[in-house]
A and B are shown apart, each in its own frame.
Chain A
Amino acid sequence: MRKLRSLRHWFYERLGGEAVFSFLRKKKVPLHRYSAWYFLGGITLFLFCIQVATGILLLLYYRPTPEEAFESVRYITAQVPFGWLVRSIHAWAANLMILFLLAHMFSVAFLRAYRRPRELTWLSGVVLLALVLTFGFSGYLLPWNTLAFFATTVGTNLIGQIPWVGHWLMVFLRGGQDVTGATLTRFFALHVALLPALATGFLLLHLFLVQIFGISLPPSIEAEWEAQPERRKEIAFFPDFMARELMAWYVALGLLGTLAAFRPWSLGTKADPFAPAPAGIRPEWYFMFVFQTLKILPAYIGPLTGEAVGVMAFGLAALLWALLPFFDRQAQGRRARWMTGVILFALGYISAMTLYGYWAAR
């Protein structure tokens, strides 16, 4: 036991333990009726770490060619010890990560945590959202099954609708005119090299900014505590908040394990580029609202195709969403009701179109 303690002290001294732990002890987390929302960012981070770990394990066996991709995933699922678990956890954690990321984003929006001086934290978060969605899009193709192949074909077709640069971008992403082995290679490189590098950089920036500016207080709580200072309550980030965060992480871990055991991710059938697209092809749930919107738009709106208008509209909406902190000048200390309406509309639209997409596909 003494040897363990002296080993711990050896590393503590050499890794700047004093500086790190004194900062963590000083860092405070406000405790109020909205504090539960603070856990969502940490859960998203935890799931990202799960993705990295399981992704590295999958990398040991996965082969990114059309001839071997599907077979290597089948080998992982059927032959590799606990391969089924790693693969299912990777697939489920991807979906859960996006779900918690969206929940985190909307909770930050509703609680106005993007206010000055946290605008860059919000912007880095939006970039992380785009990177995570690209992770999902690129990773979906890698098993090279029928659904993945045609979902990628449809998805990259939509990218081709962007005016001026769309066609070039589509060809660049696909590595040619159609989805082929070149697309698989590209998406693999994107998924395991470029995106992780970018995501790590932006994640570190995001976490750094959260650390230096601390946890944001919602405007209503700020006003309450200003009026009644005795109601102010805070806990230390370390170890108190971390302990609670750890509980949430363990619950997420249990959920992942349960999903992997009871609803293992299916292998599907190997992609056949010469076969027609299966009836009712649709994207994963996090792209469903975009897909469904484009489906219901008319073929032409003015001189442009409905799809081009839809893609541009979503691009504009994403840009406005990223610039949200710069529109919400009035929220310093007061809630801007119109902004709440905008955020509610965004949440409602995404939810409704997602549900509609699944209902229409029945």
Chain B
Amino acid sequence: MWVGLSLWLMVPPVVSAQNAPNSCLDCHQQLDPPLQVTPESWMGSIHQQKGLSCISCHGGDPSSTDPAEAMSPARGFRGHLSRRDIPKLCADCHSRAEYMRRFNPSLRTDQYAQYLTSTHGKLLEHGDQRVAVCTDCHGVHDIRAPTDPRSPVYPLNVARTCARCHADAAYMKPYHIPTDQFASYTASVHYQQLVNAGDLSAPTCVTCHGSHGAVPPGVTSVVNVCSTCHVFQAQLFERSPHRAAFEQMQLPGCVTCHGNHRIVHPTDTFVGTGSESVCVRCHAPGDPGYNAAATIAAHLSQLVTDIDRSAQLLNQAARSGVEVSEAQLELGQARDALMKARVAVHSFDVTTVDQNIQAGLEITRRTYRAGLDALAELRYRRRGLAVSLVTIACVLAGLWLWIRRSHSLSHAKED
């Protein structure tokens, strides 16, 4: 039966779905959920737009209005599909490159193969039908392209889709894994970047875990996941003493300090020996790592302070009308040096970090000097103005006295 159905499915529908009679939809739109399928949801489906119809998945005869005929097994009707059969059913089309290329030549066709390697796929194979199958994420009768903002797998919607199960503590109880991932993720800088800044390239669940082949990244491979975006940090980490140490202690790189789901925007307090520092979780006072952390933190703090000091001075000069745009532009380079120093922290080496710190400090020294010069220029201008105004006042006084004298002389003449 399966071979027959597969062979039958290989034949493209002769009649376009838009024009063919569809007794399935005619009846099912009048039913109550979960049997209800509305024309609005079906017409929005990418399957419908590409010419597929109800029989593509369910079989049967949509030209007949007699339910017995329309839903007859003799006409190929398969009825309600079991969750266990859904991935294979979808794969009957979506795994066949020669079939899928007529719709979208660049669409991947390895989703089913990936799914079988995923935690969801493996549990399904072992008979657990509570795990996610294709329809749980993509929809059923209203499947939309992943690039459609209304699709549950559009980047902005992925986390919420995963959270339908993974944030449900009661549903996830048999699996003994945390259910706070969504709550943690929504507090993260990645979520802020995705949702608030609208950056669709910001990571969501599938970026790190995979989509069809979803598994949690392993302890040793999580750095590879982060390094797909955070390249420099990963390279520095790989060459740092932490790499071997973390491997030995079975600690995951990146995640040990930054967390996995609740990854917040790191501040300079992450580094050093303060109460918020991650370094003190492992390093004790006196050990080389503790001292290096303290030095790096102190140098970073010095550069930040110097940048702020220069910026304040230059802003004061600019507000007073002195032209300091070149110095302000140069100060931007100091901010770049600070950013590079913060990246260089992942080398956990004072010398490497200091290369950028010193470059930044050199710039702040120059820009601070420029700010002082600008304020000196301002004072010079004000002094010059005072001298000019005094001179003008003297001239005015002289003219006024001359006018008075001239006026009294002319009065005396008249008398």
Which among B382, B396, B403 is the interface contact of A250 at CB below 8 angstroms? B396
Q: A257-B389, A261-B381, A261-B382 are in contact. Are A247 and B396 (CB under 8 A)?
A: yes
A256 to chain B, nearest CB (A): 10
A150 interface residue (CB < 8 Å to B): no
A74 to B384 Cα, complex, angstroms: 22
Q: A254-B388, A257-B388, A258-B389 are in contact. Are A240 and B325 (CB under 8 A)?
A: no
Which among A74, A85, A240, A263 is the interface contact of B323 at CB below 8 angstroms? A74
The answer to whether A267 touches B399, judged by C-beta atoms less than 8 angstroms apart, is: no
Please name all residues of chain B whose beta carbon is closer than 8 Å to the beta carbon of A247 when the two chains form the complex: 396, 399-400, 403
Q: Which of B376-394 contact A (CB under 8 A)?
A: 381-382, 384-385, 388-389, 392-393
Please name all residues of chain B whose beta carbon is closer than 8 Å to the beta carbon of A250 when the two chains form the complex: 392, 395-396, 399
Q: How many A-B residue pairs have CB under 8 A?
A: 55
| Chain B residue nearest in CB terms to A246 | B399
Please name all residues of chain B whose beta carbon is closer than 8 Å to the beta carbon of A196 when the two chains form the complex: none
| Chain A residue nearest in CB terms to B378 | A261
B390 to chain A, nearest CB (A): 10
A246 to B398 Cα, complex, angstroms: 11
B406 to chain A, nearest CB (A): 6
A232 interface residue (CB < 8 Å to B): no
A84 interface residue (CB < 8 Å to B): yes
A239 to B399 Cα, complex, angstroms: 11
A265 to B395 Cα, complex, angstroms: 27
The answer to whether B323 touches A267, judged by C-beta atoms less than 8 angstroms apart, is: yes
A47 to B392 Cα, complex, angstroms: 16
The answer to whether A254 touches B406, judged by C-beta atoms less than 8 angstroms apart, is: no
The answer to whether B406 touches A240, judged by C-beta atoms less than 8 angstroms apart, is: yes
B321 interface residue (CB < 8 Å to A): yes
A78 to B400 Cα, complex, angstroms: 38
A253 interface residue (CB < 8 Å to B): yes
Please name all residues of chain A whose beta carbon is closer than 8 Å to the beta carbon of B393 when the two chains form the complex: 254
A9 interface residue (CB < 8 Å to B): no
The answer to whether A243 touches B323, judged by C-beta atoms less than 8 angstroms apart, is: no
Please name all residues of chain B whose beta carbon is closer than 8 Å to the beta carbon of A207 when the two chains form the complex: none
Please name all residues of chain B whose beta carbon is closer than 8 Å to the beta carbon of A77 when the two chains form the complex: 323
A300 to chain B, nearest CB (A): 39
Which among B323, B392, B395, B402 is the interface contact of A78 at CB below 8 angstroms? B323
Instruction: Give chain B's interface residue range (CB within 8 Å of chain A).
Output: 20 to 34
A264 interface residue (CB < 8 Å to B): yes
Q: A240-B403, A246-B399, A251-B396 are in contact. Are A78 and B385 (CB under 8 A)?
A: no
B326 interface residue (CB < 8 Å to A): yes
A240 to B381 Cα, complex, angstroms: 34
A244 interface residue (CB < 8 Å to B): yes
Please name all residues of chain B whose beta carbon is closer than 8 Å to the beta carbon of A78 when the two chains form the complex: 323-326
Which among A257, A258, A264 is the interface contact of B321 at CB below 8 angstroms? A264
Main secondary structure of the interface of B (DSSP, over half): helix
The answer to whether A263 touches B321, judged by C-beta atoms less than 8 angstroms apart, is: yes
Please name all residues of chain A whose beta carbon is closer than 8 Å to the beta carbon of B392 when the two chains form the complex: 250-251, 253-254, 257
Please name all residues of chain B whose beta carbon is closer than 8 Å to the beta carbon of A85 when the two chains form the complex: 381
B115 to chain A, nearest CB (A): 47
The answer to whether B385 touches A257, judged by C-beta atoms less than 8 angstroms apart, is: yes
Please name all residues of chain A whose beta carbon is closer than 8 Å to the beta carbon of B395 when the two chains form the complex: 250
The answer to whether A84 touches B323, judged by C-beta atoms less than 8 angstroms apart, is: yes
Q: Which of B299-339 contact A (CB under 8 A)?
A: 321-326
The answer to whether A243 touches B321, judged by C-beta atoms less than 8 angstroms apart, is: no
Which among B384, B389, B403 is the interface contact of A243 at CB below 8 angstroms? B403
| Chain B residue nearest in CB terms to A264 | B321
Which among A244, A251, A264 is the interface contact of B403 at CB below 8 angstroms? A244
The digit string for B241-258, where 1 denotes a CB below 8 A from any CB of A, is 000000000000000000
| Chain B residue nearest in CB terms to A254 | B392
A240 to B408 Cα, complex, angstroms: 12
B214 to chain A, nearest CB (A): 43
The answer to whether B385 touches A243, judged by C-beta atoms less than 8 angstroms apart, is: no
A267 to B329 Cα, complex, angstroms: 15
The answer to whether B402 touches A243, judged by C-beta atoms less than 8 angstroms apart, is: yes
A333 to B160 Cα, complex, angstroms: 88
Please name all residues of chain A whose beta carbon is closer than 8 Å to the beta carbon of B396 when the two chains form the complex: 247, 250-251
Which among B325, B402, B406 is the interface contact of A267 at CB below 8 angstroms? B325
A112 to chain B, nearest CB (A): 28
A267 to chain B, nearest CB (A): 6
| Chain B residue nearest in CB terms to A253 | B392
A258 to B403 Cα, complex, angstroms: 26
Please name all residues of chain B whose beta carbon is closer than 8 Å to the beta carbon of A251 when the two chains form the complex: 392, 396
Please name all residues of chain B whose beta carbon is closer than 8 Å to the beta carbon of A257 when the two chains form the complex: 385, 388-389, 392
Closest 7 CB pairs of A and B: A264-B321, A78-B323, A261-B385, A77-B323, A254-B392, A247-B399, A250-B392
Q: A254-B388, A261-B382 are in contact. List 17 more A-B contacts (CB 8 A).
A: A74-B325, A84-B321, A84-B381, A88-B321, A239-B406, A243-B402, A243-B403, A244-B399, A247-B396, A247-B400, A250-B396, A254-B389, A257-B385, A258-B385, A263-B321, A264-B322, A267-B325
Can you offer 12 A-B residue contacts whose CB atoms are under 8 A? A74-B325, A78-B323, A78-B325, A84-B321, A239-B406, A240-B406, A243-B399, A243-B402, A244-B403, A254-B392, A264-B322, A267-B323
